[in-house]
Structure 1
Amino acid sequence: MLTDGSIAVQSASEAPFYRAVGDEAEVFRAAAGGGLPVLLKGPTGCGKTRFVEAMAHELGRGLITVAGHEDMTSADLVGRFLLKGGETVWVDGPLTRAVREGAICYLDEVVEARQDTVVVIHPLADHRRELALDRLGTTLSAAPGFQLVISYNPGYQSVLKNIKESTRQRFVAIELDFPPAEIEEQVVAHEAGIDAGTAGTLVRLGNAIRNLDGSPLREVSSTRMLILAGCLVAQGLSLRGAVQSAVVQTLSDDPDVVRALGELADAVLPRA
Structure 2
Amino acid sequence: MMETSVNTDRLKYNTSRKIVRPGGRHFKTIEEKERERQETQKKAELQGQSRARIEARFLTPRAKNFVETPEVAELTNTVQLWNTTGYPVHIIGPTGCGKTTLALAVAERLNRPAVWINGDAEMTTSDLVGEYNQYLEERYIDRFVHNVFKSRETVQKGWVDNPLTLACMHGYSFIYNEFSRTKPEANNVLLSVFEEGVLEIPTKAGEERYIKVHPDFKAILTSNSIDYAGVFQPQDALLDRMVAIHMDFYDFDTEVEIAKAQTGISTKEAKRIVKIVRALRDRLPDEQKPGTRAAIMIAQGLKLLNGHGAADFEKTCFTVLASKTRRLEDMTERRRLVKEIINETKTAGS
Note if contact 1:43-1:154 (Cα within 8 Å) is conserved in structure 2. Answer: yes
2:325 is aligned to 252
Note if contact 1:48-1:151 (Cα within 8 Å) is conserved in structure 2. Answer: yes
1:17 is aligned to 66
Compute the displacement of 1:241 (Å): 2.7
Note if contact 1:69-1:113 (Cα within 8 Å) is conserved in structure 2. Answer: yes
1:266 is aligned to 342
Q: Which has the higher helix share?
A: 2
Name the stretch that deviates more: 23-32 or 114-123: 23-32
Compute the displacement of 1:162 (Å): 1.5
2:313 is aligned to 239
Q: What amino acid does structure 2 have at the position aligned with 1:44?
A: T
What CA distance in whole angstroms lies between the structure 2 residues aligned with 1:16 and 1:85? 45
What CA distance in whole angstroms lies between the structure 2 residues aligned with 1:159 and 1:241? 31
Compute the displacement of 1:199 (Å): 0.9
* Alignment deviations for residues 87-140 of structure 1 (CA, whole Å, 9 cap, x no partner): 5310001111111121111111112111111111111122x1211012222211
Instruction: Count how many residue pairs are aligned between Structure 1 and Structure 2.
Output: 263
1:88-237 to 2 correspondences below 5 Å: 88-126=157-195, 128-137=196-205, 138-157=209-228, 161-212=232-283, 215=284, 218-236=287-305
Name the stretch that deviates more: 87-96 or 154-163: 154-163
SS at match of 2:160: strand
2:148 is aligned to none
Unaligned runs of 5+ in 1: none
Q: Does 1:64 align with 2:115?
A: yes
SS at match of 1:178: coil
Q: What amino acid does structure 2 have at the position aligned with 1:80?
A: E
Q: What amino acid does structure 2 have at the position aligned with 1:251?
A: K
Note if contact 2:58-2:117 (Cα within 8 Å) is conserved in structure 1. Answer: yes
Change (3 A) 1:15 1:135: same
Compute the displacement of 1:193 (Å): 1.9
SS at match of 2:289: coil
Change (3 A) 1:209 1:143: same
Change (3 A) 1:113 1:48: same
Compute the displacement of 1:158 (Å): 6.6
Q: TM-score, normalised by structure 2?
A: 0.69
Unaligned runs of 5+ in 2: 1-52, 138-155
Compute the displacement of 1:74 (Å): 0.3
Name the stretch that deviates more: 63-72 or 78-87: 78-87
Note if contact 1:16-1:50 (Cα within 8 Å) is conserved in structure 2. Answer: no
Note if contact 2:181-2:230 (Cα within 8 Å) is conserved in structure 1. Answer: no
SS at match of 2:287: coil
Note if contact 2:65-2:262 (Cα within 8 Å) is conserved in structure 1. Answer: no
1:76 aligns with one of 109, 127, 138: 127
Q: What amino acid does structure 2 have at the position aligned with 1:151?
A: T
Q: Does 1:33 align with 2:84?
A: yes
